[in-house]
Every structure is written in structure tokens, then in C-alpha cells.
Amino acid sequence: MPQVMIRRAVAADAAAIQALYRELVANPAVCVLPERIAEVAQSANAALFVAELDGAVAATAHVSLCLDVMFQNQPFAVVENIIVMPRCRGLGVGAALMREVEHYARSAQCSKIMLLSAAERSEAHRFFEKVGFLGSAKKGFVKYRSQFDEQEP
């Protein structure tokens, strides 16, 4: 059985994380900066996790804690940019990564964990449901920066 280890990302992981993100989206603008990873590592409201399989980065997930007012001082978590290297899927890497995300959210007293997934990623949707996310509970919406209204200040 392959050895999976989950840890917080460090600046030296930038190239490996960038390669994973390029598996996730075909966007030439993807650029992971080591200093940004270091900044996230220092944040009290975010965590960037990597999963190592036999010593090599094989997956990543970024979690942000969002301050909320609905349930006293409980935040909620948003998970973004979840990707497991294709050759490592089905080996327990993603499940281990998502357990760590859940542990992080639980330790922060989050009321819930939310994530979005591209509509066409049906394999990912099956995985998210397998690890306990409800795909039919809510409907997600997104508006990209290129679609923001240009407003005069």
C-alpha cells in the first residue's frame, strides 16, 4: 500500500502545486508564487495542504475560513483548488487529504465546509459525495473577475 502523508504546503512546493493546478485548469495564467504559499502558511484563516505519496506531492487543497455571524462566532470553510494527480487517483490520496481538510474545519469550529466543482467534472463529483459532501443540497454560482462590472469609483 502506498504511503500517504498530509502536511501544510511550504514555499518549496510551489512548482509541484503549479503542476497540479495545470492538471485542474487549462489556463496559461496559472502561476503559483512561493511567497504566496508562505503568506498562506502564516494566515490564521487559511491552510494550503499537500498530500505526498511516497515522498512526492500528489494532491493539494486550499481551505479558507470565512467569518460568519449566523452561528455566533463559528466560521465556515470554503475548499478550493482540490486536485489529485491523475495517476494517483483511487489510491486513497484524495480521501486522506479531505479527512485533513475536515479535521482542520472541525478544529476551527466551522459550521460547514463548502466547495465548488466544475459542472463537467462528474468523476470529482462522485468522489466528493463518497467522502460525505451532498451534491444535491445546494446549487453553486460563480462570477469570474473577467465578468465583473466595470464601475467608476
Residues 61 and 9: their CA atoms lie apart, in Å, by: 10
Look at residue 130 in the predicted model and tell me its pLDDT.
95
Architecture per CATH, 4-147: 3-Layer(aba) Sandwich (3.40)
49 SS3 class? strand
Strands 76-84 and 113-115: parallel
Nearest to 43 by CA among 121, 109, 126, 104: 104
Q: Which residues of the chain have pLDDT under 50?
A: none
Look at residue 146 in the predicted model and tell me its pLDDT.
87
* Cell, residue 52: 505526498
Q: What is the pLDDT of residues 115-139, one digit of tens each?
A: 999 889 999 999 999 999 999 888 8
Nearest to 138 by CA among 109, 107, 117: 117
Domain ranges of the chain: 4-147
Look at residue 153 in the predicted model and tell me its pLDDT.
57
Look at residue 151 in the predicted model and tell me its pLDDT.
64
Nearest to 2 by CA among 52, 60, 61: 52
Cβ proximity of 31 and 21 under 8 Å: no
Look at residue 3 in the predicted model and tell me its pLDDT.
86
